A = this chain, B = another copy of it.
Amino acid sequence: MGSISANKIKFIRSLAQKKFRDEHSLFVAEGEKIVAEAQASGYKIEEIYRIEEIGAEAMARITNLSSPSPVLAVIRKPELSAEDIISALKPESKGLYLALDGVKDPGNLGTIIRIADWFGVEAIFASPGTVEVFNPKVVQATMGAIFRKKVIYTDLAELCTSFKSLELPVYGTLLDGKNIYEALPADRKHGLVVMGSESFGISEQLRPHIDSKLFIPPYPADAVTSESLNVAIATAIICAEFRR
């Protein structure tokens, strides 16, 4: 087993489960690019394992990927509080924020973090029912963007109330929303955009908190088409529309 003990292998494998990530406040990232991004960020790297040091067999046992990567890092989870971000908001805040209401698919969450990174979203809020951001599939899907964008789990109804109390706009995508190309104001660089879950969209409880309902129209508008766009795809189109 080269320079890694059987106990250590067992420990790293346990971090594939949320229970143990929570217990130890650690998570795993793999691959040269992602580990390099982790090192360049302010995240605390606890351990790094390279395939040339521990051997291919040991790496195959600790990897979360179908083919073991050359390098795997065990990283400390950051301390994040919604309160810190919300208390820093001001009526003149110019940042764009996302809120995810129950996104379940790790690939979707990872892709959304990468989109948020590309389009300069300040931070991503997520309902407690959203998939955990340190799930290995999420980490890998971000391609490293996870180390540049904060994802904060919080009650989204309270979050919307905080934005509204500062007169910051709260948008949301809904099938009965208005055409996004007509509904967004000219000064649309800031505010909160709520995206719903893959299966149910924005939850019943949260809908009354949405000030401005948006919809990405199909083409032509009366087309017989897919029932909806994937949530990551919709997030990309909306972020692009805010940033154009």
Contact = CB atoms under 8 A, between A and B. Distances in A.
B216 A240 contact: yes
B115 A229 contact: yes
A230 B181 contact: no
A223 B115 contact: no
B111 A225 contact: no
A219 interface: yes
Residue among A145, A181, A227 with the most chain B CB within 10 A? A227
Nearest to A141: B230
Given A107-B107, A114-B230, A119 B243 contact: no
A232 B237 CA distance: 11
B181 A225 contact: no
B225 A118 contact: yes
A227 B142 CA distance: 11
Contacts of A217: 243
A117 B244 CA distance: 24
Contacts of A216: 240
Interface of A: 107, 111, 114-115, 117-120, 143-145, 148, 181, 216-220, 223-227, 229-230, 232-233, 236-237, 240-241, 243-244
